[in-house]
Chain A
Amino acid sequence: MSTVDLETYVPHIDHQYDPRDPEVALYVDEVSVRFGGVQAVSAATIACLAGQVTGLIGPNGAGKTTTFNVITGLEAPTSGKVFLGNEDVSGLTPYKRARKGLARTFQRLEVFGTLTARDNILAAAEFRRGWSKDKSNPRAVADQIVERVGLQHVQHERVDMLPTGLARLVELGRGLATHPRVLLLDEPASGLDMAESEALGDLLIDLAQEGIAVLVVEHDVDLVMRVCDRIHVLDFGRIISVGFPKDVQADPAVQAAYLGAED
């Protein structure tokens, strides 16, 4: 038996980017989070490039949502840093990070349930008008986004009455209304049917082409493989594989993470 302590062991991954590279929009630098005796995230490093969709996948409990919480500032890491557009934002509160162009959706929905779908997006557009220099009309922005994420048919319904899949689209639209440079999506396709899922994939590719860095946590393998430019695999809070979709899929470490070790 080897003497390596598996609970703290960090496999060597060749990270090809640096937080100061100009094309890096978001850089998670060796972030660790510990809850009591449980190490939720261990020295995870993730780079997201502007204009690309980056995937973050891994089995249940691997630490994906915790990583999102650290990036957005809702949770403080035990160690490690977060860079937004080459700037260290580790010490900033969530709202200040948002004002620097970071938006997200939540796996456990955080919609404004008592408002209508359109008002959720309108509220976000109004928030942005309040803190940014761009004073474009929030109502116009909201109408445009409602159409873009495909919510016209339910825009006047209260969000807590919508099915989960559509409520996730509301969260996505709400994030877009703040004109983010980096967009974090936590399981955006869960609760969507095939056609809706396909449309979401197209939308993500479009958003990346506009220059947004999209980081997506998703369990729908087909969707991830189709839209992602690069994928990071998180397991026991560690990044165990980084690369192009095909390479990640073929990586024995990834298969072991999903299926258990081969005897």
Chain B
Amino acid sequence: MDQLLQLTVVGLVVGCVYALTATGLVVTYTTSGIFNFAHGAIGMLGAFSYWQLTVKWHWPVLLALPVVLLVLAPLFGATIERIVMRPLHGASVDVTLVITLGLLLFFLGAANYFWDQGQTRVLPELLASWKPVDIGGVVVTWGQIIIVLAAVGVAIGLRFLFSTTRIGIAMRGVVDDPDLCAMSGASPARIQQLSWAIGAGLAALAGILVAPKVGMSALQLTLLVINGYAAALFGRLKSLPRTAVGGLLLGLLVSYYPVYVAPHLPFSTTFGQLEKAVPMIFLGVLLLFLPSARLRTATTVGRVAPTVPGLRQSLAGGGVMIVLAIALASALSSANLLIAGGMFISALSLLSLVLLTGYSGQTSLCVLTFFGLGAFAMAHSGTSPLGLVWGGLLAAAAGMLVALVTARLRGLYLALATFAFAKGMDVGFFNFKLGSGQSLQLKRFELPLIDTSSEKTFFFLTVVVFVVAAIGVLAVRRGRWGRQLTALNDSPAACATLGVNTTITKVVVFTASAGIAGVAGAMFGAQQEIITPSQFDVLGSLALLLALRIGGINTITGALFGAFTIGLFPEMPQILGHFGVTLPDKVQLTFLLTGIAAISIGRDPDGLGGQVSKLGLRLRQQFGSSSTPAAPSYEEATLVHG
């Protein structure tokens, strides 16, 4: 009985934290229509600035708390709205997704830069010196009481704001009809800015309350919000009361799970260790019960599809690439060959996203999960080259499963579902099967007549695999199935009225894409000869998706550009070091730069690759106008529109 009470108290306290986080998310989402994936990162920055003020600079709590919660965080939120979000007005879910994910990585990188994560920091609980209270035999600290009081206070405050104040009603009104708001003299932009300020304040509050418990880890604090997604989804991203209930339910579930749930499940030892995956499972189950989305009708917001090279062109391009690879292989050192090979492996995994996201318009935040499954299969295949096949098949099977479960979802919900899957696999499979903080050794596969243990040969082999896959993907794009994917991307409603079973199409493309990522993962395992769970976490998947955005979402060039950008970022300190410039550690830099690049280029589906070809086109028009045909090609029209 005591144990039940104890767990209930703990569960309620945790639930209040989830509810607070989710409430901030929902306030911003309903008012501005943007789901802020960087919400957790903002909370993390709030906690770190609070630590800086109180612990480092010895400010009194009563001063530091209002400064962070009422001044710094809201200002920060309002600034983000003004600089990053307002120009996005009317942008598609796809674009806002990329931008907020970019912000997430950027904030994480920035926090790592300012607060060296190698150092240990402790944030004391609020009122830690007060004597804990005994409630019916359960000892409750004042820190816990404050969490509950804060949640209740926020709930009452928001209720008051939204039902009685003029600005609160306007915040609800803007959800319905921003134009009508403007006609009534209430500026939608200002109202949305306020919602970002409130959202950021709530994020910081949650961050400060939870940091003493979770610890001052930028990564942990940032990802904590993912549990809040589940609570927000319980409220269908709309209702604040339901969101609060969702948070409490999830808190209790997490708290009860190890004692009351896991032991009763089959394979209880396995399930007992899956405690951390509980919120993800909760999120997944909620997504299953979402009502079916209506078929999306056409979106015409400046989408562009670059010309697809013909077979002869792609063969020629592949040939050139292989020749270059031979030249490179003889010029580079073994260490650099590993890096260069790694880039081609990244490019291969980005090909899977070109197919899935670029061609057919499905969002996936779990590409590295499929990649990791491929590597895992390779690790269990010894020296057999069949590991590549097993890797592809294992990932494809997982992809098919994900697609079947998420068949009814799209846009933001699909992104959340794949995010949950990636996070769930991260804590429930990779850390579990490979051992947290550990690594798995594997052997490079062997081929007859070819010495795969030589880095030169293996690099060459990697390039060949990439070229074959790229030619294959392009062939698909030109063919019947490619037309079907493009059609599905352009107008799912029209596809359905022409007799296309859109669900099957989605499942097939998801499976194929996962398969490609799996082969890439198997290549990766064989190349590295050692894998660790952290290589397949969800942040890596985000970085990859953003890299492809940077390169250009729907072209092979985009995949190459993206892979090279993301591959070069970690090497920046070393490269710039030659010029006497010192830069921080590589991982943070990857996040920082990927974040910035994604924020700046995320709006343009053409990415860097597209920019370069547009530049080429412009130059040709400038200097070779006589040679261009008289009829305007669609590229030119694209130029005008883009």
Instruction: Check A-B contact in the complex, CB < 8 A.
Output: yes
A131 at the interface (CB under 8 A from B): yes
Residue A119 interfacial (CB < 8 Å): yes
Residue of B nearest to A68 (CB): B497
A218 at the interface (CB under 8 A from B): no
* From A98, A158, A161, contact of B498 by CB (8 A): A98
A94, B637: Cβ atoms under 8 Å?
no
Residue in A closest to B303 when the chains form the complex, CB atoms: A114
Whether the Cβ atoms of B298 and A95 lie closer than 8 Å is no
Q: Report Cα–Cα, A109/B634, bound state, in Å.
A: 19
CB-CB under 8 A for A115 and B490, given A122-B483, A126-B480: yes
A160 contacts B by Cβ under 8 Å: yes
Give every chain A residue within 8 A of B498 (Cβ-Cβ).
Answer: 95, 98, 103, 123-124, 127-128, 174-175, 177-178
Q: How far is the CA of A161 from the CA of B641 in the complex (A)?
A: 10
A191 on the interface (CB 8 Å rule)? no
Contact of B490 with A127 in the complex, beta carbons under 8 Å: no
Residue pair B486, A114 in contact (C-beta under 8 Å)? yes
Which B residues are CB-close (under 8 A) to A99?
A: 499
Please state if A98 and B497 are interface contacts (CB–CB under 8 Å).
yes
In the complex formed, the residue of A with least CB distance to B295 is A74
Q: Is the CB of A160 within 8 A of B300?
A: yes
B487 CB-CB contact with A under 8 Å: yes
Distance A174 CA – B637 CA, assembled complex (angstroms)? 24
CA distance A49 to B475 in the complex (A): 44
- Whether A127 and B303, one on each chain, are in contact in the complex, defined by CB atoms closer than 8 angstroms, is no
User: What 0/1 pattern do residues 103 to 127 of A give for CB contact below 8 A with B?
Assistant: 1101011111111000110111011
Q: How far is the CA of A103 from the CA of B500 in the complex (A)?
A: 12
Tell me if B405 counts as interface (CB < 8 A to partner A).
no
Residues of B within 8 A of A110 (CB): 297-298, 491, 493-494
Contact A161 B634 (CB under 8 A): yes
Contact A74 B499 (CB under 8 A): no
Q: Given A126-B483, A127-B484: A111 and B491 within 8 A (CB)?
A: yes
B401 close to A (CB within 8 Å): no
B481 to chain A, nearest CB (A): 9
Q: Does any Cβ of A come within 8 Å of B56's Cβ?
A: no
Known: A113-B298, A122-B483. A98 touches B490 (CB 8 A): no
Q: Does residue A144 face the partner (Cβ distance < 8 Å to B)?
A: no
Chain B hits for A108, CB < 8 A? 297-298
List A contacts of B568 (CB < 8 A): none
The yes or no answer to A93 lying at the interface (CB within 8 A) is yes
> C-beta contact mask, B613-642 vs A, less than 8 Å → 1, else 0?
000000000000000000000100100000
Name B483's contact: one of A104, A115, A158, A178 (CB within 8 Å). A115
Residue of B295, B297, B486, B490 with highest tally of chain A CB at under 10 A: B490
| A157 interfacial by beta-carbon distance below 8 Å | yes
**C-alpha gap A102/B499 in the complex (Å):** 9
Residues on B with beta carbons closer than 8 Å to the beta carbon of A97: 497
User: B494–A111 contact, CB under 8 A?
Assistant: yes
Residue B574 is within 8 A (CB to CB) of chain A in the complex = no
Chain B nearest Cβ from A179, distance in angstroms: 10
**Interchain CA distance A93-B499 in the complex, whole Å:** 10
Within 8 A of B (CB), among A123-148: 123-124, 126-128, 130-131, 138
The answer to whether B88 has its CB under 8 Å from any CB of chain A is no
Give the Cβ gap from B558 to chain A, nearest Cβ, in Å.
15
Which residue on A lies nearest to B299, using beta carbons? Answer: A113
B:467-516 near A, CB below 8 Å: 480, 483-484, 486-487, 489-491, 493-502
Determine if A123 and B484 form an interchain contact, defined as CB atoms under 8 angstroms apart.
yes
Number of interface residues of B (CB under 8 A): 28
Nearest chain B CB to A74 CB, angstrom units? 6
Which residues of chain B are near A157, meaning CB under 8 Å? 634
Given the known interface contacts A110-B297, A113-B300, the answer about A98 and B494 at a Cβ–Cβ threshold of 8 Å is no
> Is B304 in contact with chain A by the CB < 8 A criterion?
yes
Q: Give Cα distance in the complex from A178 to B634, angstroms.
A: 28
Query: Cβ of B490 and Cβ of A128 under 8 Å apart?
Result: no
On chain B, the residues within 8 Å of A120 by CB distance are 487
Indicate whether B434 reaches chain A with its CB closer than 8 angstroms.
no
Shortest C-beta distance, B298 to chain A (Å), equals 5
In the complex the two chains form, what is the Cα distance from A94 to B484 in whole Å?
Answer: 17
Q: For residue A124, which residue of chain B has the nearest CB?
A: B498
| Interface contact B496-A95, CB-CB below 8 Å | yes
A32 in contact (CB, < 8 A):
no
Chain B residues with Cβ below 8 Å from A103 are 497-498
Assess whether B294 is interfacial by the CB under 8 Å rule. yes
Given A157-B634, A158-B634, the answer on whether A94 and B497 have CB atoms closer than 8 Å is yes
Q: Chain A nearest CB: distance from B477 CB in Å?
A: 11
How many Å lie between the Cα of A189 and that of B542 in the bound state? 46
CA distance A128 to B487 in the complex (A): 14
Q: Does A72 contact B (CB under 8 A)?
A: yes
**Closest-CB distance, A65 to chain B (whole angstroms):** 12
* Chain A residue contacts of B483, Cβ below 8 A: 112, 115, 119, 122-123, 126
Selected from A74, A114, A131, A138, the residue in CB contact (under 8 A) with B497 is: A74
The 8 Å CB contact of B637, one of A95, A138, A161, is A161
* Chain A hits for B502, CB < 8 A: 95
In contact, B294 and A74 (Cβ under 8 angstroms): yes
- Interface pair B487/A104, CB less than 8 Å apart: no
Given contacts A114-B490, A127-B484, contact A109 B496 (CB under 8 A): no
Taking a contact as CB atoms under 8 Å apart, the answer to whether A111 and B480 are in contact is no
CA A160 – CA B494 in complex, angstroms? 15
Which chain A positions have C-beta within 8 A of B487? 112, 115, 120, 123
| B464: interface (CB < 8 Å) | no
Task: Tell me, yes or no, whether B305 is within 8 Å of chain A by CB.
Answer: yes
Chain A residues near B637 (CB, 8 Å)?
158, 161
Instruction: Kindly list chain A residues whose C-beta atoms are within 8 Å of the C-beta of B494.
Output: 106, 110-112, 171, 174
Pick from B480, B489, B496: contact of A94, CB below 8 A: B496
B-chain residues with CB within 8 Å of residue A122 when the two chains form the complex = 483
Measured in the bound complex, the distance between the Cα atoms of B494 and A115 in whole Å is 14
Contacts of A73 in B (CB 8 A): 496
Q: How distant is the Cα of A93 from the Cα of B407 in the complex, in angstroms?
A: 15
Shortest Cβ gap from A143 to chain B (Å): 16
Mask of B292-313 contacts with A, CB within 8 angstroms, 1/0: 0011011010011100000000
Q: Name the contact of A127 in the complex, choosing from B295, B489, B500 (C-beta under 8 A).
A: B500
Chain B contacts of A106 at CB under 8 A?
Answer: 297, 493-494
- Closest A residue to B480 by beta carbon equals A126
Question: Whole-angstrom distance between the alpha carbons of A127 and B490 in the complex?
Answer: 15
Chain B residues with CB under 8 A of A93? 496
- Closest beta carbon of chain B to A138's beta carbon, Å: 8
CA distance A74 to B295 in the complex (A): 7
CB nearest neighbor in A for B488: A112
Q: When A74-B294, A122-B483, A157-B634 are in contact, do A114 and B304 touch as well, CB less than 8 Å?
A: yes
**Beta-carbon contact of A104 and B297 below 8 Å:** no
Among A98, A112, A131, point to the contact of B496 (Cβ < 8 A): A98
Neighbouring B residues of A102 by C-beta, 8 Å: 497
B435: shortest Cβ distance to chain A, in Å? 46
Q: Say whether A126 contacts B497, CB under 8 Å.
A: no
Which single residue of chain B is at the shortest CB-CB distance from A98? B499
Q: Within 8 Å CB of B298, what residues of A? A: 108-111, 113
Note all chain A residues with C-beta closer than 8 A to B497: 72, 74, 94-95, 97-98, 102-104
The 7 closest A-B pairs by CB, nearest first: A98-B499, A114-B305, A94-B496, A110-B494, A112-B490, A110-B491, A123-B483
- Between A and B, 6 residue pairs with Cβ closer than 8 Å are A98-B499, A108-B298, A112-B494, A115-B490, A119-B483, A178-B498
Q: What 12 new A-B contacts, CB under 8 Å, besides A160-B303, A174-B498?
A: A95-B502, A99-B499, A106-B297, A110-B491, A112-B483, A112-B490, A114-B486, A115-B487, A124-B498, A127-B495, A130-B499, A178-B499
A residues within 8 Å of B by Cβ? 72-74, 93-95, 97-99, 102-104, 106, 108-115, 119-120, 122-124, 126-128, 130-131, 138, 157-158, 160-161, 171, 174-175, 177-178
> Which B residues lie at the A interface, using CB under 8 A?
294-295, 297-298, 300, 303-305, 480, 483-484, 486-487, 489-491, 493-502, 634, 637
